[in-house]
Structure 1
Amino acid sequence: MGDKAQSHHPGAAGRALTADRPASLRNVVLVGHSGSGKTTLVEALALTAGAVNRAGRVEDGGTVSDHDEIEHRQQRSVQLSLVPVAWDGIKVNLLDTPGYADFVGELRAGLRAADAALFVVSAADGVDGSTRMVWEECAAVGMPRAIVITHLEAARADFEETTRVCAEVFGGDDPDAVLPLYLPLRAPEGPDGHTPVTGLVGLLSRKLFDYSTGERKESEPGEDQLPGIEEARDRLIEGIIAESEDETLMDRYLGGEQVDVETLVRDLERAVARGSFFPVLAAAPAAEGARQGLGTVELLELVTGGFPTPSEHPLPAVTTTGGEPRELKPCDPDGPLVAEVVKTASDPYVGRVSLVRVFSGTLRPDQTVHVCGHGLADRGHEDHDVDEKTGALSMPFG
């Protein structure tokens, strides 16, 4: 998570890694109000991972996930979009959702398809009521979450204040479960009074990650910079230790024992995966011609290292066609096919195209499957009980 020495192998532009086992998959939905920067963040992550050669802009209608003419005209997302990228041998399915309330059905579809959520919060606008409601829904089902603060370049952006608000709103009775892993590193104040964010300071590693050249470079902080991060670092360590499965660790730490970074990272990843700790990160799109946007490497490391695999996602309630409950092993490629049609769209050239989340078994082309709506009182159809034949299978990219 920015504190580990890792090598990564991005996929070729426009093509994501093929995952051959559940452990090499992460399904992540991006949640946030309209204008918080979800689509721009997906574009930045795709660029850093090597899935695209250059980042498009929402204003130009050139982003991967906003591909519909209506989205180009309105300059906002109106439908669920899937962008797969590869990082460190892990395939990450990024589900970009609309933030506007009229398209809440697309958001709910993304939540059903995902195993974890990234809540995107603008440093200029803060947290709105609808984002808070979705957070509470995710909390009710125990979905792991992390927070990404965007729009750091805005004139009224305040990372520290936004982090405090997030801890107050999302932390509930335990604000120490919502803490930053990195602090923004700002350049000297310019003649216009603007101080752009050029990098990040890793609280656990005490490393500087400079993005000012368009590519992440690691260095050691100066002696004058260390005192500024110690208070935030101590609070983060105590927050991680409080979620540790080692009940003696807090007493040892308070007794003066130094806890090694590897132990802290392992405990952090476990706490994130089980949905009891919610790290805060910062991200910004890459400048023109740059290869990496600020914070995108750290975010991809969090997703691949801390978010759960599909094997850790509980199976939905499964019944036979006769309505009898059936127990199945989750994520068994050789087991019976259990999948959910997340959404279906109509394409003028292809016909009906369905986005499907597979929980168990293997979906194959030209396979006859039984589609049943029984038991889905909130979104099912009592009379939907029919055999269907799949057509060609493909992985959407936007």
Structure 2
Amino acid sequence: MMNVYESDKIRNVVILGHGGSGKTTLVEAMAYVTGAVKRQGRVTDGNTISDYDKEEQKRQFSISTSLVPVEYDDIKVNLLDTPGYYDFVGEVEEALNVADAAIIVVNGKSGVEVGTEKAWELCEKYNLPRMIFVTGMDDDNASFRQVNVTLNEKFGRKIAPFHVPIREDGKFVGFVNVVKMEGRRFTEGSDYVEGEIPDYLDKHLSMSRESLIEAVAETSEEFMERYFAGEEFTYDEISSALREHVIDGSVVPVLCGTGLNAQGMNALLLAIQKYFPSPKQCKINANDLSNGELLRLDYDCTKHVSAKVFKTIVDPFIGKYSLIKMVTGVLKPDTAIYNVNKEEEEKAARLYVLRGKEAIEVPELHAGDIGALTKMNTLTTGDTVALKGATVVYEAPKVSVPFTYKAYTAKNKGDEDKIAGALAKLMDEDLTLKAVNDAENHQTLLYGIGDQQLEVVVCKLMNRYKVEIELTKPKFAFRETLRKKVSVQGKHKKQSGGHGQYGDVVMEFEPSGDLEKAYVFEERVVGGAVPRNYFPAVEKGVQECVVKGPLAGYPVVGLKATLVDGSYHPVDSSEMAFKMATILAFKKGFMEAGPVLLEPINTLQVTVPNQYAGDIMGDLNKRRGRVLGMDHIPGGKQVITADVPASELYGYSTDLRSMTGGIGDFSYEFARYEQAPGDVQAKEVAERNKEN
């Protein structure tokens, strides 16, 4: 069993940082130091609490967010261990939706990386208090000083070093507490005793102390004046300024340690307890459905029960868990819970807190805590649960839109239904995954944030659900149209004992000027050459033909078809015969009317730091893109807007990441159709002919 914690004794902390910086190892170390696990697991051994999924163990990095609650002193810290690779950003966004503070993990050897900057941007966006933990200090090549210099350059004077590492004979043996100006020496594991401050640290320590005092001075005008007057601050002044301003994000402490040897964990947990807010000090956004008002609410145990579902786990072995963050009230087992979004009631039989994949039953959950409900059929990520009659809905996680896609097919015929069911479960878990049926091009598409995520989906389908799919390059939604006006005759004549078939039309085909519509049909028949009752059959022929054009089998747009003449037979003519005659006329006429392929054009927006703008523009030119504009935005970035053919954006997420070291971002939307260049048309027609 796990103890039950009141709102003010809870800390909800998301762990962010670049892929491979040591987040999962840090969480494992905190779990070990607090006694949540008896033995510290390692990512390389595949036995950590967080990375319990087979895919994570195989690849040795986190794919989904996992929850690891640890108990320290008299508080409970709900650690949300998130993936560092950008393909799995949806998982990070779900965790940010319920976190009250963040630890950004930086590897002391690799230093500040793209993922560090992304983590900082997310904290700014979600307004989260944060600390930076520099890990890997046991590595000879780790430089805490260099990390601090870079952090100061990138993020300004908020950066406040709380620690300076002490190294002896290439080993990490302790640290200086810069706030108290006292030395600390490790005894066993994360435990430490007070010790001397070595002389050789004087220069480094005075620089760090200066940074810390500067960050404190920045928090008020009175402090700023005293700082410039050369006055010293007392320990109590520094401590209370830090308590107040770490919470509002205007001071960002930097701590150090090593996850692998679990050193520095006690100091980190103490800082979490002391400086990070409890839910009691936080507010939450909500929407009142009864009057459409936006509300800012407190986490409050005295009100009726309400909570929000921020994540769903669907595991073939352990079942479905809906992870919730309690907002108001105290939830107990066997409570009838009302899903406000879906207006349905279900019973929450048991309550759990999850630690990795382990479900620990609890007697109650208080406002601000994170727990899990199981076997709740109607609950999906983003739902609000409360007591019947409630009208307040909490903000659902805002998840990134997926723009990378591939076509997928079942490897084994007959597996389609199984695949659809398995994908539905994966989409419940991962909101950035979308399966789309593209009926027009007879293909099924899988959308995600990046190629790596789609690869993981293929593996999960195989390992979890025993179905195999193949990913291929999708067909793009070209269109066909014509450029000239032509007049053609179509005659359908068959004689076979008894009634024959006779239909004869003269049609004019020309551009209609409206590419939004497939066709416009008119008739100018003089003197009843074709009786009126056959006009609908002629239009039906046109209607059938535009679905699949004669050039490359794509839908036809922008066509005007006019029936001008023809002839009929009083006995042998029929609607069917006139439809067939029209089809013959269409196939012949369309190919004589200067047929062209139109390609879909997307308006693309790429957001990159200024130094990459030139590379991006050069690359867009290669993709036949037309740059429409460049806008400078805060943070030394630019948004480049360009029109680019959809087919040229295939694989763009991978290319953009390699061009920008992973920091570039993009989105696009369909703009219009434009005539495809001759070489593109020739290639497409040849490919379609090969298929047929």
Asked if Structure 1 and Structure 2 have the same fold, meaning a TM-score greater than 0.5 normalized by the shorter chain, the answer is yes
User: Paired residue for 1:217, among 186, 193, 202?
Assistant: 193
Give yes or no for contact 1:186–1:199 (8 Å, CA) kept in 2: yes
| Residue 282 (structure 1) aligned with residue 256 (structure 2) | yes
- Per-residue deviation, 1:132: 1.8
| Residue 45 (structure 1) aligned with residue 45 (structure 2) | no
- Per-residue deviation, 1:350: 4.9
- Per-residue deviation, 1:310: 0.6
Letter in 1 for 2:277: P
User: Paired residue for 2:205, among 229, 247, 265?
Assistant: 229
User: Paired residue for 1:208, among 171, 174, 183?
Assistant: 183
User: Paired residue for 1:311, among 269, 273, 280?
Assistant: 280
Q: How does 1:58-73 map to 2 (within 5 A)?
A: 58-73=43-58
Letter in 1 for 2:31: A
Could you say which residue in structure 2 is the equivalent of 1:364?
332
Structure 1 residues 222, 80: closer, same or farther in 2, change over 3 A? closer
Could you say which residue in structure 2 is the equivalent of 1:294?
263
Determine helix, strand or coil for the equivalent of 1:60: coil
Give yes or no for contact 1:346–1:352 (8 Å, CA) kept in 2: yes
Distance 1:208 1:357 in 2: 39
Moved more, 217-226 or 302-311: 217-226
Determine helix, strand or coil for the equivalent of 2:304: coil
Could you say which residue in structure 2 is the equivalent of 1:199?
174
Distance 2:353 2:22 in 1: 24
Structure 1 residues 351, 391: closer, same or farther in 2, change over 3 A? farther
Structure 1 residues 110, 337: closer, same or farther in 2, change over 3 A? same
- Per-residue deviation, 1:54: 2.1
Give yes or no for contact 2:18–2:84 (8 Å, CA) kept in 1: yes
Q: How does 1:1-398 map to 2 (within 5 A)?
A: 17-19=3-5, 21-169=6-154, 171=155, 175-188=156-169, 195-211=170-186, 213-214=188-189, 215-222=191-198, 225-226=201-202, 228-244=204-220, 247-285=221-259, 287=261, 293-320=262-289, 322=290, 324-325=292-293, 327=295, 329-373=297-341, 384-398=342-356
Distance 2:273 2:351 in 1: 25
Structure 1 residues 224, 58: closer, same or farther in 2, change over 3 A? closer
CA deviation string 1:275-329 (max 9, x = no partner): 1111111120354xxxxx2221111111111011112222122324x46437575
Give yes or no for contact 1:147–1:278 (8 Å, CA) kept in 2: yes
Could you say which residue in structure 1 is the equivalent of 2:451?
none
Determine helix, strand or coil for the equivalent of 1:184: strand
Distance 1:308 1:157 in 2: 30
Structure 1 residues 132, 225: closer, same or farther in 2, change over 3 A? closer
Number of aligned positions between the proteins? 355
Could you say which residue in structure 2 is the equivalent of 1:376?
none
Structure 1 residues 347, 323: closer, same or farther in 2, change over 3 A? farther
Letter in 1 for 2:278: T
Structure 1 residues 162, 349: closer, same or farther in 2, change over 3 A? same
CA deviation string 1:224-245 (max 9, x = no partner): 654542232133113213214x
- Per-residue deviation, 1:91: 0.9
Structure 1 residues 186, 227: closer, same or farther in 2, change over 3 A? same
CA deviation string 1:66-107 (max 9, x = no partner): 122222222111111111112231111111011122221111
Structure 1 residues 349, 165: closer, same or farther in 2, change over 3 A? same
Give yes or no for contact 1:182–1:201 (8 Å, CA) kept in 2: yes
Counting aligned pairs with the same residue, the percent is 35
Q: State the structure with more CA Rg.
A: 2
Structure 1 residues 391, 220: closer, same or farther in 2, change over 3 A? same
Determine helix, strand or coil for the equivalent of 1:63: coil
Moved more, 53-62 or 212-221: 212-221
- Per-residue deviation, 1:250: 3.6
Give yes or no for contact 2:163–2:176 (8 Å, CA) kept in 1: yes
Structure 1 residues 351, 51: closer, same or farther in 2, change over 3 A? closer
Distance 2:51 2:275 in 1: 28
Give yes or no for contact 1:40–1:57 (8 Å, CA) kept in 2: yes
Distance 1:16 1:26 in 2: 15
- Per-residue deviation, 1:342: 1.0
Distance 2:61 2:203 in 1: 42
CA deviation string 1:42-87 (max 9, x = no partner): 0111122222222111111221111222222221111111111122
- Per-residue deviation, 1:391: 3.0
Which structure shows the higher strand fraction?
A: 2
Give yes or no for contact 1:29–1:116 (8 Å, CA) kept in 2: yes
Distance 2:120 2:223 in 1: 30
Give yes or no for contact 2:311–2:323 (8 Å, CA) kept in 1: yes
Distance 1:357 1:256 in 2: 47
Extract unaligned runs of 5+ from structure 2.
Answer: 357-692
Distance 2:21 2:267 in 1: 19
Extract unaligned runs of 5+ from structure 1.
Answer: 1-14, 189-194, 288-292, 374-383
Distance 1:151 1:211 in 2: 15
Distance 1:224 1:132 in 2: 32
Moved more, 154-163 or 94-103: 154-163
Determine helix, strand or coil for the equivalent of 1:281: strand
Structure 1 residues 136, 365: closer, same or farther in 2, change over 3 A? same
Moved more, 303-312 or 206-215: 206-215
Determine helix, strand or coil for the equivalent of 1:56: coil
Distance 2:161 2:296 in 1: 38
Give RMSD over aligned pairs: 2.2
CA deviation string 1:136-168 (max 9, x = no partner): 232133211111112223353222112222222
CA deviation string 1:4-51 (max 9, x = no partner): xxxxxxxxxxx65431x2111100000112211001000111122222
Distance 1:99 1:177 in 2: 24
CA deviation string 1:151-203 (max 9, x = no partner): 2233532221122222222x1xxx11113111111113xxxxxx222211111
